[in-house]
Amino acid sequence: MTAYAPVTDRILGAVRHAHKCDLDTLAQNLPELSWNQVFFEIDRLSRRGDVLVTFEGEGKYIIRLPEHKKSSKPHHERTK
């Protein structure tokens, strides 16, 4: 991704690449963005259901993609 990619694309790409990561590590892996930019975008994406944020204690929040965002199958397709 280029430095000019939208913030959302950079954050989702980093989460997709890591599979799951804590908020501070995510911010460190995106040095071109401030911690606040990452936090606000994760908050927005979480409210939309595009990422899941779980609290793991001691101030650590884990970010990951929801299962339905990882799958390439449409929601209406049944699995056996």
Tokens at residue 6, please? 């939208």
Specify the pLDDT at position 75: 39
Give tens-digit pLDDT for 42-80. 999 999 999 999 999 888 999 999 987 655 444 344 444
User: In terms of residue numbers, what domain contains 49?
Assistant: 7-67
HEC per residue, 48-61: HCCCEEEECCCCCE
Q: Is residue 39 part of a domain?
A: yes
Q: Is residue 24 part of a domain?
A: yes
pTM given for the model:
0.75
Q: Is residue 76 part of a domain?
A: no
- Give the CATH number of the domain where residue 58 resides: 1.10.10.10
Number of domains forming the structure of the chain: 1
Q: Is residue 78 part of a domain?
A: no
Specify the pLDDT at position 67: 85
